[in-house]
Amino acid sequence: MAVLFGAGDDADDVVQEAFVKAYRALGRFRGDASFRPWLLRIVANEVHNLVRSSRRRDVREHVSVCLSVDVAARWAEEVDPVSRTLSTERREALLAAVGRLGENYRAVVCCRYLLGLGEAETAVVLGWPRGTVKSRLSRALKRLSTDLAVHRLRTEEVGHARG
């Protein structure tokens, strides 16, 4: 998650710091709450602190690093080489589009679709009301759809120009 949220090469340090903070705060953890969103919230806060204090790097650069082969390789298992190539191109276009989203939109998309968190868990992780999760996810998906449609048109234009 630290990588997905923009920690890049510092993800290991962020996670380590998050675990230290979680251990120290374990006494304040409510037993009736879900542990995973609580811990992920600490990781998200640590990433936010890193990104905010680290003006030397651009957040988009971190996202492009984090949305690399490890995450992408799990998304397609086609055997057919043509299907695999098309799937790889689509996946790369999708990941690039996610990388172009604003920080809040990227965070909600990563939580819901890349981490597989539910709405309530996403709200806990991001520290937002559930309605905010819904509205930002809706806006993010619209932006992704538009961005991918534009990318598809550009790709088709290049294909027609070559053919």
**Domains assigned to the chain:** 8-162 (1.10.10.10)
Mean pLDDT computed over every residue of the chain: 79
* Per-residue pLDDT tens over the stretch 17-47: 999 999 999 999 988 888 999 999 999 999 8
pLDDT of 59 strictly over 50: no
Measured CA to CA, the distance from residue 137 to residue 105 in angstroms comes to 7
- State how far the Cα of 39 lies from the Cα of 36, in Å rounded to an integer: 5
Alpha helices in 4-80 (DSSP H): 11-24, 35-53, 59-66, 69-73
pLDDT at 49: 85
Q: Does the reported pTM lie above 0.85?
A: no
Amino acid 70: pLDDT: 46
Is 82 or 52 the better-scoring residue by pLDDT? 52
Average pLDDT over residues 48-74: 54
